[in-house]
Amino acid sequence: MSKITLSVFSLLLCGAAFGQADRLKAGVDREADKLEPKLLEWRRHFHQNPELSNREFKTAEKIAAHLKSLGLEVQTGVAKTGVVGILRGDKPGPVVALRADMDALPVTERNSLPFASKAKGEYNGQTVGVMHACGHDTHVAMLMGAAQILSGMKKDLKGTVKFIFQPAEEGAPAGEEGGAKVMVQEGVLDKPKVDAIFGIHINSQLEVGKVGYRPGGTMASVNSFVIKVNGRQTHGAYPWSGVDPIVVSAQIINALQTVVSRQIDLTENAAVVTVGSIHGGVRSNIIPEEVNMEGTIRALSPEDRQQILDKVRRIVTNVAESAGATATVEFNEGYPVTFNDPDLTKRMVPTLEATAGRENAVLRKAVTGAEDFSFFQEKVPGVFVFVGGMPKGKKAEDVPAHHTPDFFIDESGLKLGMRLYCTMALDYLEGGKETAKSGNSTGK
């Protein structure tokens, strides 16, 4: 066969591939339009019936029943309440995973929605209101819709789609484990082995119709810490006869402010060291023996994260020692940086632009909130994007934030999220494993 003939043949093959991809995406759009009323019905059901982390029993039942009705292979009880559906396309190819989180928060809803939550639950021994105050109800509904649309394309799929419905993204109750970390430990990225993963989060402060993305560190790592400062108790009238842990704690708090302001290169990445609580003493005239503090650390690169942990430990220990006190600091394991694989993100930007409209796919700033989607990204290349849920014409500063009683989502933005789940999966499968060959380059 001549070079010219080969070139023509290659062009024909490429044209056929692009034609097939366009046909499938057109099918996504048609099915999404038809499915939108059901999408909203699912969302409202989950919103009205929220369940706390590791307690998503009814939510999981409804998801599993839906996936089984589509003929998928369904696994339940993953990381306690998680559900996984597997759709094996009729054509060979890679494995792509799509993830949605399921849990609600211990927040009492405060709005006039006809489907507002009136649910109660128990959180760390207290009776609390329960609300989907972060939009996980929308994520579940969008992924259920994507599963239905993609199931109808089984004969054209070049590979496998794994639908991961994850519990406990907001953190397991005290004394329990949960969330993405446990799902990974239990093998959710294996059998079949996942080559890449995509996640979506609704955003109440991003306008409906828009999708936000960022390569590299897009959400911060998080570590909480507990500091215990031990002095020597004495009468408040004679401070020189003891060692005052309250004064030492104040010096430690002030010194911790220099970690971010003076010891981290903020031109590269943002970082946060926050002391959120301090407790010590019982009377005005007694200098106590001990003071306890708690706080949080946020960073946007693994290197910054480790630097901050090391610097906090050094400051706590040395400031206490300089005053004749002793102090310890303990860090929880926390979440890693939510790190969007740069090569995979680059490959997906045309998909985001084609699905949302080029003008609506926006490069966003990194944020210091955290996401346990990062545990999936430690194992396989992944991309995590944000879909707008703010009514058009509103300003971000004027709408309720996530995790608040007045949190609100404009449901007209949900269809875009459902379409994005589908188109990201389709384009990844069409491109094959080459879309993820860079791997996770964070060094975590």
Q: Kindly report the CATH number assigned to the domain that includes residue 360.
A: 3.40.630.10
- Spatial neighbors of 180 by CB under 8 A, at least 6 apart, are 99, 166, 169, 372, 373, 374, 375, 376
Domain annotation covers residue 13: no
Report the pLDDT value the prediction gives residue 429, as an integer from 0 to 100. Answer: 97
Report the pLDDT value the prediction gives residue 23, as an integer from 0 to 100. Answer: 86
Report the pLDDT value the prediction gives residue 393, as an integer from 0 to 100. Answer: 95
Report the pLDDT value the prediction gives residue 22, as an integer from 0 to 100. Answer: 83
Contact in structure between 66 and 72 (CB atoms under 8 Å): no
Distance CA 394, CA 153 (A): 37
Domain annotation covers residue 444: no
CATH code of the domain covering residue 288: 3.30.70.360
Same domain, 232 and 195: no
Distance CA 206, CA 262 (A): 32
Same domain, 212 and 231: no
Same domain, 256 and 201: no
Distance CA 422, CA 426 (A): 6
Report the pLDDT value the prediction gives residue 443, as an integer from 0 to 100. Answer: 35
Domain annotation covers residue 419: yes
Same domain, 155 and 253: no
Same domain, 83 and 171: yes
Active site residue: 186, 294, 378, 411, which one?
Answer: 411
CA–CA distances in Å: residue 102 to residues 49, 134, 151, 343:
11, 10, 21, 29
* Helical H segments across 158-288, by residue range: 180-185, 245-263
User: Which mean pLDDT values do the consecutive 10-residue runs of the chain (444 residues) have?
Assistant: 53 56 89 98 98 98 98 98 98 98 98 96 94 98 98 97 98 94 98 98 98 97 97 98 98 97 93 97 98 97 96 98 98 95 98 98 96 98 98 96 97 98 97 57 37
- pTM, two decimals, is 0.90
Q: How far apart are the first and last CA of the chain?
A: 49
Number of domains composing the chain: 2
Report the pLDDT value the prediction gives residue 18, as an integer from 0 to 100. Answer: 55
Q: Is 434 a catalytic residue?
A: no
| Domain assignment of residue 321, given as a range | 221-331
Domain annotation covers residue 14: no
- Of 305, 331, 357, the position where a domain reaches its end is 331
Domain annotation covers residue 246: yes
Same domain, 289 and 173: no
Same domain, 84 and 57: yes
- Of 315, 331, 347, the position where a domain reaches its end is 331
Question: Which sign does the torsion angle of CA 109, 115, 118, 124 carry?
Answer: negative
Report the pLDDT value the prediction gives residue 7, as an integer from 0 to 100. Answer: 56
Domain annotation covers residue 346: yes
Nearest alpha-carbon partner for 268 in 239, 312, 299: 299
175 token code pair: 């004394």
Nearest alpha-carbon partner for 426 in 158, 66, 118, 213: 158
Contact in structure between 430 and 158 (CB atoms under 8 Å): yes
Same domain, 54 and 162: yes
Report the pLDDT value the prediction gives residue 442, as an integer from 0 to 100. Answer: 40
Report the pLDDT value the prediction gives residue 15, as an integer from 0 to 100. Answer: 56
Active site residue: 31, 169, 335, 428, which one?
Answer: 335
Buried b (16+ CB within 10 A) or exposed e, 100-118: bbbbbbbbebeeeeeeebe
Same domain, 234 and 213: no
Domain annotation covers residue 395: yes
Same domain, 214 and 89: yes
Domain annotation covers residue 171: yes
- Of 312, 331, 350, the position where a domain reaches its end is 331
Same domain, 325 and 403: no
Q: Is 335 a catalytic residue?
A: yes
Same domain, 70 and 166: yes
Helix (H/G/I), strand (E/B), else coil: 143: helix
